[in-house]
Structure 1
Amino acid sequence: MSDASRVVAGIMLLTIVTIEFGGWFMTKIVRGQVPMTDFQKAFARAGHAHAGVLVTLGLVCQLLADATTLDGVADWVARLGVPAAAILMSGGFFASSAGKDVTQPNRFFAILWAGAACLAAGTITLGVGLLIA
């Protein structure tokens, strides 16, 4: 495993504690202990799920990036695209549904789209890198 993959993977593993906290908070939401609209509950679920899945995918991407011959910016896009998407997409769900009695996304929904762009850039770059290696 390369030093870059080791460092990024280590940081990503440490973020799992925040995902665990989110899971605990989700149990409070589903038990009705946190007042939320149905829209907010759906976005809380989506934000939590995206965080967990994308961190897991990001860990896999670190190993795959080591199998490419990418360097420079392309290497870092392949390594950090999915982890950045984990932060931005989950954050977009949470931020765009924050507040009392919210029933539709606010302007922070744009963060979700920035995350989707990072996810696309990272996976496309890594996929092409693997094909040309």
Structure 2
Amino acid sequence: MVLSDESRYVAGVMLLTIVTIEFGGWFMTRVVRGQVPMTDFQKSFARAGHAHAGVLVTLGLICQVLADSTTLTGLADWVARLGVPAAAILMSGGFFASSAGRDRTQPNRFVWILWLGAAALAAGTLTLGTGLLVA
């Protein structure tokens, strides 16, 4: 299998982000041990942010290979390649940012970042899926 330069570059950057996800896993072990004071809501959002990062980075790597199998060009090609990786950043960041603050029990105003990530995920997967079906 030969990857395009675009896929190789995006996949390389994504693989480097796994170190930050590992750091998040270490942080989560501190949270579940009670070493980091958090409300139940904040613990739930921290778990969700960490899980979304890991799952979406993995899916984003798969999308790079699949994008090479389409005939998409221009903006559509980049939406297909970068939608899921952008969602990994935005959704996990949205969970973390919207739960930040002392004794928080509900999302703050930064919850919009989470929804922007959901839109990026939808755009990326719809574009890539359509590109695969019409290739």
Instruction: Give the structure 2 partner of residue 78 of structure 1.
Output: 80
- Pairwise mapping of residues 106-125 of structure 1 onto structure 2 (< 5 A)? 106-125=108-127
Q: CA deviation at 1:18?
A: 0.2
Instruction: Give the structure 2 partner of residue 49 of structure 1.
Output: 51
* Partner Cα separation in structure 1 for residue 41 and residue 48 of structure 2: 11
Determine which of 127, 130, 133 is the counterpart of 1:131. 133
Flag as ranges the 4+ runs of structure 1 deviating above 2 A.
none
RMSD, aligned CA: 0.2
* Partner Cα separation in structure 1 for residue 55 and residue 112 of structure 2: 20
Q: CA deviation at 1:43?
A: 0.1
Instruction: Give the structure 1 partner of residue 60 of structure 2.
Output: 58
Q: Identical aligned pairs, as a percentage?
A: 84
Residue 131 of structure 2 aligns to which amino acid in structure 1?
G
Superposed CA offset, 1:59-114 (max 9, x none): 00000000000000000000000000000000000000001000000000000000
Unaligned runs of 5+ in 2: none
- Pairwise mapping of residues 97-112 of structure 1 onto structure 2 (< 5 A)? 97-112=99-114
